[in-house]
Structure 1
Amino acid sequence: MPQPPLSPDSDDTRSHRAAAVAHFIDIARQLVPDPQNATREQLQAVARHLEALGRQTALFPPGDFPVTDAEPAVVYRLSEDADGHYALYASAGLPGKAVPPHDHTTWAIIAGVHGVERNVFYRRDKTSDPTRDTLVSEHTVDVIRDSSVILSPSDVHTIELVGEQASLHLHFYGRSLDHMPGRVVFEGRSGGSFRTFAPPGGIRHAVITPHSLKAALADGAEIALLDVRDAGVFARRHILFAASAPLWRLPLEVDRLVPRRSTRIVVTDSDETLAHTAAHQLIRLGWTNVSVLAGGVDGWAASGYEIFRGTNVPSKAFGEVIEHEKHTPWITSGELEERVQRGDNLVVVDSRTPEEFADFSLPFAVSLPGAELVYRIGEIAPDPDTFIVVNCAGRTRSIVGAQTLIDAGIPNRVASLRNGTMDWLLTGRELAHGRRTPLPEPAPDTLAGARERAESVARRAGVQRISAATLERWLDEARERTVYRFDVRTQAEYEAGHLDGWRWAPGGQLVQATDEYAATRGARIVLADWDGVRALTTAAWLAQLGWEVAVYTPQGHGPGAFRVTGPEPVRVLTPDPPAPHVAPPQAAALADAGRAAIFDVESRAAYEKRHVAGARFAAPGRLAEFIAALPQEQVVLLTSSDGVLAQSVASGIAHATRNSQVPQRDIRAISGGTRAWLAAGLPTDQGGESVLTGDDDHAYSPYLHRDPALRNAGFTDYLDWELGLVAQLEREGHTGIQLVN
């Protein structure tokens, strides 16, 4: 069967290997459609193809599958179904490494890539003692390149790596290693006592060195770098173009972050302690091209590469580059207050989301999120002599918002509020809370002017308009090239009717936090252009951030012609069997009786505002350590805002411990989560006294500090950090940022 064509992002060894492995698995499925009842003839046919895969030695460089004197044998996972079938591994080891007699309880095929793996097969005879059997050596097979061996479920064999060369062999099983709970290992080559044993500890995945990753991030092909630590841990120290994708949230988020299953993915953490678990989950969920960064962020730093802190760093650094290179004008809090008090012809627009604006705002500001600026500013400031000041909570959206209006060529004087509401508070002023201001609809004449300005900005940035036919072609090519489709209008407009399959991403947030919406660098982004303004101004900034971006005007025909209503649907993937549920009243009864401990795993900030009475908060990444400290008989109840994350975490923990030596716990998710608890009228509490993991779950905003001294120290640190990003980008090197005049 011929090899399928490689995708455009597969110009590296790892992508070629992923394509070849996926091709082999496809063939194996066809030859063995029922892996639980495979025949010898079927397996022999598969073995020929496994040998062919092994002959492609360039796909299996030793550096991707390292072994050391400290770890002379390592099993690397290459592919596995969600249910554990069709599991392919690369078994790497140093000469002399041996495995005692054992069986598999499933069929297996072993083929050579490098070195010699000696397989000795034994006949197993029962004795009068049911706990002891004898083994008699029957034949030996040395597996080298161009050869293979087939094992039946009951075959007993030993493995020894002989010769002077490090070995790497392909092991293909009917069931994965962690789906073989009944296999046994003998005390010696003559048999004797035997016992069941757990899968090899720490099954790994092919690694990529920091040097290779650095090159891959700049090669122009698609790549997604996923940091799987909890978001607050990520914010303290990470690689610039990593997207935060916490391990326990992957089933909820990865389908949107990295929609194409063959995308080149590199998983990282601090030091490889979590990354291989995450890689396993991604493989079981269907992603085929997954590597792990050798040494994690620690290894990246040890290689001399730049480390960043904070959230949405590429976008925030972009804002600093804009001010640095375009000299975006700004105004201080003191000057702004003076102008307001003397009644100057001035308007202040807050470019954050309406929700953020309602939380706190300048007392005289108007809410006008970033994508709405050019679209609606003509209604808010119709007088060209009105001075427009754009503010946000810090710096980025103030700068980007002000420069958006300036680049669009509006006649007004425009400036950003230097350091936003942080500076307003730092200089002793107060904010308002709970305010909401309506978004005015643009009149036909102001809309026409806004469209002309948006077209000019988009044209200068190189934004392309695509037809329905081009979009259809791009979607047809989506198996080889990722296409993100976003609707950048307001939430109300999106929910009133949007194109099927298009995600909601308000334009200002898409620019401010691109890494939260699109983790695949090198992908295409298409924005729906409903009004001739908002998609174009958003696309212009995305293009200057380095994305290939286009706008599509919805038609009455073509892809997604009909509209759907309601919020964006979220597809939750399920790599593990669902954990048991318990209804809120029953959960409360268990807790009241002292038989259960409740953990909230969603958000520290939300927990502190209101939570299930008696619940403790723990970031999912550290939950296991707190569960381990509980009495074994105590039920563990997990809750999250709507119960979805709690269910995912409970299922994941159960899967992680199912085949380990750790005693199984009774872990359940509260049905409907905290919302259902509240709806049932059950008791709640407030405060952070029972927060167990500090700010591990999310970067803790200085605004949340009740102590003004702590808050102000946090503001100062944050602003110093943002101002230092330009210098960090210069040290980083290639960023893809290209500003236009």
Structure 2
Amino acid sequence: MSQTDLSLDFSGTDLASLRTRAVLDFIAHARRTVPDPGQASDAQLAEVAQALAQLGLRRELFPEAHFPLSEEAPARVYRLYEDLDGHYALYVSAGQPGKAQPPHDHTTWAIIAGIQGHEENVLYQRSPTADPARDSLSPIRTVDVAPGSYITLQPTDVHTIELVGAETGLHLHFYGLGLDRLPGRVVFESRSGGSYRTFAPPALIRHPLISPAALREALRDGEEIAVLDVRETGVYTHGHLLLAASAPLWRLELLIDRLVPRRGTRIVLVDGNESLAHEAARKLVRLGYAQVSVLEGGTEAWAAAGFEIFSGTNVPSKAFGEVIEHDKHTPWIDVAGLRQALDQGQNLVVVDSRTPEEFKQFSLPFAHSLPGAELVYRIHELAPDPDTLVVVNCAGRTRSIVGAQTLIDAGIPNRVVSLKDGTMAWLLAGQSLAQGRSTALPEPSPQGLAQAREQAARVAERAGVQRLEAAGLARLQGQRHERSLYLFDVRTREEYQAGHLEGWRWAPGGQLVQATDEYVGTRRSRIVLADWDGVRALTTAAWLAQLGGHEVYVYSPAAQTTTVTGPEPVRVLASQPAAARLSPLQLQAWQQQGEVLVFDVDRRADHERRHLPGARFAVPDRLHEFVGTTDDTRPIVITSPDGVLAATVAAELARRLPTRTVRSLAGGTEAWATAGLPLQSGADGVLTGDDDHWYSPYAHADLAQRDAGFKSYLDWELGLVAQLEREGDIGIQLIAA
């Protein structure tokens, strides 16, 4: 997209929302007045300047707390708006008294208007001298820019800036092109001119800040908000805000369109200490997200304010599972009890509620694969005898608990228990697992389906799930610029790919409950599930409604609804021009001609499984540590399993290293393998450890380390209830047992 959709609704009542609305109103006026951002007449600039001055008079929209200064940083620039192509760039320039800029030009038109403080602008006539490297300057006029006043500048105008008086200065600066896209700007050695040189934009253009206390309040104000942690996922897992979704900086172009689809969403970006969040904000603003703030001081400041920090992944969902067991007393059986029942030949069935892919990696040797959303739908075929004990299992605790309680709430006649601590406990007890198994999902009989529909409908109604007809769905879709809308199909992968509603994403129901934060980045959004069979969508929706934080609906497509086939399409956004790509054979030729730096950037596990000879693995946000010095001439090639992330990373790296040759491998490692070129495996070349993902205890080859990891993980899960109590209410509302 080339610009923000200025028709987006920003109905929030907080200051950031009100400021965003006012800014977009101004930008819309500026676009109408100056339709060509590359040039503007004096009359056009004057008209826009009057509107900018009026925006500056709305002082309440620009509190100093959102644009802070410090002793270490007495002057800062904050980005408010900018098109994807860099045009119509609006900033807040903040400075302490005495801040000054020597004579300089802009190479684009500019307007400055006051919010607070007095900025003295002196304009100069620039004249050539006998020395081509030196020009003379002579003052023409002085303009005092204060609240209600402004100055306009054409591309070649030269001026100085100085904040006079005792008041901190806040001024709106509006440019035809963004500051970091103006490499030809010049600055003079003195007010009389002399030699001049080009100068770089601010080292870091910041974005409006929100304090920990204000963010905590925003999370509880009932309005839409997306909190995104932009560190790599492995770093994020060591400590993050409970309601922050993982959205790593260098992966944003791949994730953000699905995670936060509405461009008007109030977004707060978080990292450890503000070291990455402003770069992430730059990307989002250019991608059309108009309301982006950064958590002041990151998670370090959040913890210092006395607020709770959580470790791990999918924490809201896992805490939800622990609350379910704690509050509803979900029954369980331990490994010893299950082992005894099996040895005695008792009438029981064990169902594994993880995904089929996880089940195939490892499973209890006698378990059936029955993912969470499939439990009520298919359990009647696996346990037709009401005297059969049903044991629900997973790799740890959450999906065992949620799965067992799903069947209990549905009211199946069987006794149902979870396997306490799942396959972790099974291995800790010295038992073994099977690898590579797959079990067919039994198709429900007409009688079983009728029972399942009745059971699922009853639970969904009690949970407050709302049903939609076609007109209701159309109404929500018509409001998707005002309220975030997520559309999911929760059936199996095979069913989804065989035919689904156009534009609806695939999210197997059990995973949508287990890992909600990986699919839905916006709190207080609307979630609609496609109900094809009267069971699975209702079962999933009931849990989402109890998890809280969203409006949850189900929609039953008509019998003759048009569908599309194939996997879910993924739209990859672009925040800067693409870097050139190399084919596998071209890269091989480069390697034969000389030294090439090849970096694998997606997942360490994929790299260890197979990688290009000589390739090293690094998470993208640490690449700068390994690409060599500024005078290094070796070309850099980025790869990933399918080349998609590699292309995004290469584009960003090329922007940061304009003097280096940076390419991505077209098609990634898969294309290299398809070309019949050699591959290697193993951990050689891994440079950044586990920054890219949470390291599962199952991955330890050393059994003592594995078992210690299991115990630590289980203790962590059990401790989530107490930690959640300290965090406070996040909207969980369980239906009565």
Give the Å deviation of 1:631.
6.8
1:131 correspondence with 2:126: no
SS of equivalent residue, structure 2 residue 424: helix
Give the Å deviation of 1:37.
2.2
Aligned to 1:519: 521
Correspondences of 1:302-701 after superposition (within 5 Å): 302-546=304-548, 547-555=550-558, 561-628=561-628, 632-658=632-658, 664-701=659-696
Question: Hey, what's the Cα distance between the residues in 2 that align with 1:617 and 1:592?
Answer: 21
2:10–2:20 contact (8 Å) kept in structure 1: no
1:500–1:563 contact (8 Å) kept in structure 2: yes
Question: Hey, what's the Cα distance between the residues in 1 that align with 2:29 and 2:461?
Answer: 48
Scaled by the length of structure 2, the TM-score of the pair is 0.98
2:39–2:109 contact (8 Å) kept in structure 1: no
2:10–2:18 contact (8 Å) kept in structure 1: no
Question: Hey, what's the Cα distance between the residues in 1 that align with 2:11 and 2:223?
Answer: 5
Aligned to 1:661: none
Question: Hey, what's the Cα distance between the residues in 1 that align with 2:229 and 2:139?
Answer: 48
2:484–2:526 contact (8 Å) kept in structure 1: yes
CA shift in 2, pair 1:406/1:172, >3 Å: same
1:717 correspondence with 2:717: no
SS of equivalent residue, structure 1 residue 729: helix
SS of equivalent residue, structure 1 residue 297: helix
Question: Hey, what's the Cα distance between the residues in 1 that align with 2:624 and 2:388?
Answer: 57
Aligned to 1:707: 702
Aligned to 1:20: 22
SS of equivalent residue, structure 1 residue 564: coil
CA shift in 2, pair 1:548/1:185, >3 Å: same
SS of equivalent residue, structure 1 residue 650: helix
1:9–1:222 contact (8 Å) kept in structure 2: no
CA shift in 2, pair 1:160/1:128, >3 Å: same
CA shift in 2, pair 1:523/1:339, >3 Å: same
Aligned to 1:740: 735
Deviates more, 1:683-692 or 1:448-457: 683-692
Give the Å deviation of 1:665.
1.4
Question: Hey, what's the Cα distance between the residues in 2 that align with 1:93 and 1:633?
Answer: 39
1:36–1:174 contact (8 Å) kept in structure 2: yes
SS of equivalent residue, structure 2 residue 627: helix
Q: Give the counterpart of 1:52 among 48, 51, 54.
A: 54
Question: Hey, what's the Cα distance between the residues in 2 that align with 1:275 and 1:258?
Answer: 16
2:393–2:423 contact (8 Å) kept in structure 1: yes
Question: Hey, what's the Cα distance between the residues in 2 that align with 1:601 and 1:8?
Answer: 36
1:9–1:263 contact (8 Å) kept in structure 2: no
1:347–1:389 contact (8 Å) kept in structure 2: yes
Question: Hey, what's the Cα distance between the residues in 1 that align with 2:612 and 2:334?
Answer: 43
SS of equivalent residue, structure 1 residue 169: strand
Question: Hey, what's the Cα distance between the residues in 2 that align with 1:68 and 1:140?
Answer: 29
Letter in 2 for 1:64: H
Question: Hey, what's the Cα distance between the residues in 1 that align with 2:282 and 2:599?
Answer: 26
1:217 correspondence with 2:207: no
Scaled by the length of structure 1, the TM-score of the pair is 0.97
Aligned to 2:3: none
CA RMSD of aligned residues (A): 1.3
SS of equivalent residue, structure 2 residue 626: helix
SS of equivalent residue, structure 1 residue 498: coil
Letter in 1 for 2:334: T
Question: Hey, what's the Cα distance between the residues in 2 that align with 1:422 and 1:9?
Answer: 47
Question: Hey, what's the Cα distance between the residues in 2 that align with 1:29 and 1:99?
Answer: 29
CA shift in 2, pair 1:456/1:732, >3 Å: same
2:10–2:21 contact (8 Å) kept in structure 1: no
Residues 562-614 of structure 1, C-alpha deviation per residue, up to 9 Å, x if partnerless?
A: 21111000000011111111111221232344420111101111111122221
CA shift in 2, pair 1:641/1:6, >3 Å: closer
Residues 393-434 of structure 1, C-alpha deviation per residue, up to 9 Å, x if partnerless?
A: 000000000000000000001111111111111111110000
1:9–1:223 contact (8 Å) kept in structure 2: no
2:111–2:150 contact (8 Å) kept in structure 1: yes
Aligned to 1:66: 68
1:91 correspondence with 2:93: yes
Question: Hey, what's the Cα distance between the residues in 1 that align with 2:303 and 2:92?
Answer: 28
1:180 correspondence with 2:182: yes
1:530–1:554 contact (8 Å) kept in structure 2: yes
Give the Å deviation of 1:638.
0.7
SS of equivalent residue, structure 2 residue 237: helix
Give the Å deviation of 1:519.
0.5
Letter in 2 for 1:613: P
Question: Hey, what's the Cα distance between the residues in 2 that align with 1:568 and 1:42?
Answer: 46
The unaligned stretches of length 5 or more in structure 1 are 659-663
Question: Hey, what's the Cα distance between the residues in 2 that align with 1:61 and 1:306?
Answer: 27
1:591–1:598 contact (8 Å) kept in structure 2: no
SS of equivalent residue, structure 1 residue 715: helix
Give the Å deviation of 1:100.
0.6
Give the Å deviation of 1:556.
5.4
Letter in 1 for 2:106: H
Q: Give the counterpart of 2:236 among 234, 258, 271.
A: 234
Give the Å deviation of 1:629.
5.1
Give the Å deviation of 1:6.
8.7
What is the aligned residue count?
A: 730
Question: Hey, what's the Cα distance between the residues in 1 that align with 2:428 and 2:633?
Answer: 51
Deviates more, 1:56-65 or 1:587-596: 587-596
Correspondences of 1:71-86 after superposition (within 5 Å): 71-86=73-88
Question: Hey, what's the Cα distance between the residues in 2 that align with 1:600 and 1:188?
Answer: 49
1:225–1:266 contact (8 Å) kept in structure 2: yes
2:189–2:195 contact (8 Å) kept in structure 1: yes
Letter in 2 for 1:635: P
Letter in 2 for 1:122: Y
